[in-house]
Chains A and B, each alone.
Chain A
Amino acid sequence: MKGNPTAMNIIFLLLFFSLLIAAAFLAAFVWSANSGQFEDVQGPAMRMLREERKKQTTNS
């Protein structure tokens, strides 16, 4: 870097916010693992296919 020693201080800021976001998501991950979000890794993909019974039907 040519001649501007303080310019890269911006990295601290960016890293700070990035790590903050990352830490938040790490916490979210830990919560997920502990609250059973990963217990069933196949069911949700099938469950979301269930169509609700509607009053009027759509033709497709």
Chain B
Amino acid sequence: MDSNAQHYDSSCSFCEQPIDGSAVVIRRERLFCCAGCATAHDMLSGDSGYGPAPELLSKYEHLVVATAAEGFQRYSSTAALWEVSLPAIHCTSCLILLERMPEWLDEVTDVRVSFSAKRASVHFNPELVSISVVAAWLDFVGYPPSLITAKKQHSSEVMKLGIAGFAMGNAMMSAFPEYFGLDAQGHSELLILFRYSTAFFATVSLIIAGRFYLESAWKAIRGRTWSLDIPIAIGMTALWGWSSMLLVQGTSGGYFDSLSGLIFFLLLGKFLQRRTYAAFSFERTVNDFLPLSVFCVNRGQFVRLGDLQEGDTIELAKGGIVPAEVHALSEVEIDYSFITGESQPVSVKTGNTLLVGGKILSEGLRATVAKKAQSTSVEQLWKDDAPDTGWVSPKMTAWFTLTVIALAIVGGLVWWDINPTRAIEISVSVLIIACPCALSLAAPFAYGTAAGVLSKYGVFLKSGRGVEELSKTKHIAWDKTGTLTGQNIAGDLELHRREWSGELASIVARSAHPIAAGIRRALDAEILPEAITQWREVNGEGIHARDIHGRTWFVGSGAGCGRPAGPTYAVCDGTLAALYRPSAAYRTELTLVFRELEDLGITHHLISGDIPRELPQEWHASFADRIHFERSPGQKAQLITPLENCLFIGDGLNDIDAMKSAAIGLAVVEGKLGYFPKSDGILFADQLHQFAHVLRYSKRMVATVKAAYILSLVYNLTGVVLALLGHLSPVIAAVLMPLSSISVVLFVVLFAWGFAPKD
């Protein structure tokens, strides 16, 4: 076969979906879109020897005591359901692979994926397989379960929005006959029918959907705060009340159609606001990262964290997380990067205390519980957010509401002089038309759209408030590890035998391991699937393979080929073919970003808990003497607090204090999964070089919103003037109110898209 012919059948042999060329995995001349499909296929073909390694199984062992775990339900002794969050779900193939799980794992009877929620409902027989094994298998095919409770969507929101939309459409249509001249043509019964129809639809919408604003306004009043819902509620009440009066009097159909439109748009804004930011759930507590249970030696079984008592002896495996403050019963190596950010392991002697959150690096450990899991110092790092007061500042809301009320009163009084019969009508008209619908939609739609744009730049904010904060940034405090440095983003490949690159590329292409991927990326060679006749990957060690020329290959750790630990070796028949070192070096591409940010008026600071490490030459100008190493979380906070409008960019739980003291905090994330600590948002590491664009965009968005506020106030003003002059009629309101809402929304959305940096 011509080895240059790279035209493959482009469907995955397992899930049958089209393969994205760059991500192909090859096993035994078959193409798969991912390692998961390849694995599933092999298992289906009866290949034994595939399955989660012991370490993987032990990683999920603690789930055995999972009966109280969120999402787990036992129906009978043979039927259980686990609704598990699988954040790695991202494509059609994922869905198909997971839903075919019963084919490659018999004990699982059915899997149903909810794609939007990135969740799977796994039905299995608990007598035949335990939840830990199911979890390990999910991890094995590429979908590690996340035990962090995912927020479930409220179905009632969708329902209310639908009813509001229905009401609006039909209220409008039944209001039109009168606008088109129905009453002039002598069909009074029809007129009454249409008027009452419109009123009916609008009232229903108010009761079911609009009620929220009335309730919210009431709460705000009782709590003595100014919320934009107050003038909205006033407007709605005025609308409904006055229209009912007009209807019953027989004067006109009232403003019911405007009311129904108002309610729909408001609800739409609220819905979109919530939906955009629900993509990433930021509500984590420290308990989400700890195991659900741990093996208690003296009781001889797994025990839930909450049930642990002082004095209990627990057993932790290699890679396990310390769940409570304990005293070590043997010497142990711990990785405290979770807490301090320090990547160097710490040696702890027998009898000393281990803190919550540390990761066990040495083989297994026994320890006695010193303090119960609940009361630890790590808890104090988590504080709750201040409640959200809404987009428009309380001050502005107060000013707005009081002005409107004043105008209504003044207008009424003036008209009392001129024509008393119209006084009340004028007053009420002012209240009706001044309803700040457009005003309240500007920010949600603007920031909602912005969220979508920002996501393309790897930035995911918890709420639109983040955009505002970003726009005001004057200082940026950078953490070091993971932020200014990275893992496996690039590597150094020493290719000793160029003539074997094809075979090497073919070997590493079949593995999903990040190091293999790194080698593959560094190699610039064609894959020759027929070149490899045997292939076997051993977890923790490497790949053993044989090529078509009969040569034996090993690609993996030093331990696997009798060489010094450190780099990854590619050895062919004993000869070193290549050497690969993933670099944890500074991200030098950031140099340009620092300068661009300085052009925007930013001052850079480096604040890290790590040991000092020399910065690249080009960065000295940007950071000057504002470099601080070896700071504890408290010290970091102290450094940041005096800085006005400071953005903190870091990663890991250890930065929580710093995040709190900064005006806004962003967590840098490496891959699809990562820690999502209590920051205001996350930032994907490989998009850091776009950050100047992000900041510039934020400033523009804030300006856009301000312009939108002005635009909506112009509408309000126009309406109020018309009302005061006695010209407000149902028709005008029906035109003005939707017009203002739609035009303001279009304005912000178009600008949000327009300002987006072009690719």
User: With A11-B190, A12-B193 given, is the CB distance from A33 to B155 under 8 Å?
Assistant: yes
Task: Give the interface size bracket for A toward B.
Answer: 20 to 34
Interface of B is mostly: helix
Binds A, one of B91-99, B286-294, B715-723: B91-99
Cβ A1 vs Cβ B185 within 8 A: yes
Expressed in whole angstroms, the Cα–Cα distance for A47 and B92 within the complex equals 8
Which chain A residues (34-60) contact chain B, with CB distance < 8 Å? Answer: 34, 36, 38-43, 46-47, 49-51
Contact of B163 among A11, A26, A41, A42 (CB under 8 A): A26
User: With A43-B113, A46-B95, A47-B95 given, is the CB distance from A5 to B186 under 8 Å?
Assistant: yes
Instruction: Provide the residues of chain B in CB contact with A47, threshold 8 Å.
Output: 95-96, 99, 113
Cβ A43 vs Cβ B158 within 8 A: no
Instruction: Provide the residues of chain A in CB contact with B163, threshold 8 Å.
Output: 26, 29-30
Q: A39-B116, A43-B115 are in contact. List 8 more A-B contacts (CB 8 A).
A: A9-B189, A12-B193, A26-B166, A29-B159, A38-B158, A43-B114, A43-B116, A46-B115
Cβ A39 vs Cβ B193 within 8 A: no
* A binding-site residues for B, Cβ under 8 Å: 1, 5, 8-9, 11-12, 15, 22, 26, 29-30, 33-34, 36, 38-43, 46-47, 49-51
Instruction: Provide the residues of chain B in CB contact with A9, threshold 8 Å.
Output: 189
Complex A-B, nearest 7 residue pairs according to Cβ-Cβ distance, in ascending order: A43-B115, A33-B159, A46-B92, A42-B115, A40-B114, A40-B116, A33-B158
Closest residue on chain A to residue B166 by CB atoms: A26
User: With A15-B193, A43-B95, A43-B115 given, is the CB distance from A38 to B155 under 8 Å?
Assistant: yes
Which chain B residues (83-120) contact chain A, with CB distance < 8 Å? Answer: 92, 95-96, 99, 113-117
Instruction: Provide the residues of chain A in CB contact with B115, threshold 8 Å.
Output: 40, 42-43, 46
Expressed in whole angstroms, the Cα–Cα distance for A5 and B190 within the complex equals 11
Closest CB in chain A relative to B759 CB, distance in Å: 24
Closest CB in chain B relative to A2 CB, distance in Å: 10
Cβ A1 vs Cβ B156 within 8 A: no
Cβ B166 vs Cβ A8 within 8 A: no
A–B pairs, 24, beta carbons within 8 Å: A1-B185, A1-B187, A8-B187, A11-B193, A12-B190, A15-B193, A15-B197, A26-B163, A29-B163, A29-B166, A30-B162, A33-B155, A33-B156, A33-B158, A36-B155, A38-B158, A39-B114, A39-B116, A41-B116, A42-B116, A43-B114, A43-B116, A46-B92, A47-B113
Instruction: Provide the residues of chain A in CB contact with B92, threshold 8 Å.
Output: 46, 49
Interface: B638 (CB within 8 A): no
Interface: B153 (CB within 8 A): yes
Interface: B146 (CB within 8 A): no
Expressed in whole angstroms, the Cα–Cα distance for A40 and B99 within the complex equals 15
Count residues of chain B with CB under 8 A from any CB of chain A.
Answer: 27
Instruction: Provide the residues of chain A in CB contact with B155, threshold 8 Å.
Output: 33-34, 36, 38-39
Expressed in whole angstroms, the Cα–Cα distance for A8 and B177 within the complex equals 13
* Max chain A C-beta neighbours (<10 A), residue from B99, B153, B155, B197: B155
Interface: B55 (CB within 8 A): no
Interface: B16 (CB within 8 A): yes
Interface: B635 (CB within 8 A): no
Residues 246-262 of B, flagged 1 when their CB comes within 8 A of A and 0 if not, give: 00000000000000000
Cβ A5 vs Cβ B162 within 8 A: no
Expressed in whole angstroms, the Cα–Cα distance for A33 and B660 within the complex equals 39
Contact of A8 among B16, B153, B190 (CB under 8 A): B190
Cβ B187 vs Cβ A22 within 8 A: no
Instruction: Provide the residues of chain B in CB contact with A43, threshold 8 Å.
Output: 95, 113-116
Cβ B187 vs Cβ A33 within 8 A: no
Closest CB in chain A relative to B267 CB, distance in Å: 13
Cβ B166 vs Cβ A50 within 8 A: no
Closest CB in chain B relative to A34 CB, distance in Å: 6
Residues 189-218 of B, flagged 1 when their CB comes within 8 A of A and 0 if not, give: 110010001000000000000000000000
Closest CB in chain B relative to A5 CB, distance in Å: 6
Residues 671-683 of B, flagged 1 when their CB comes within 8 A of A and 0 if not, give: 0000000000000
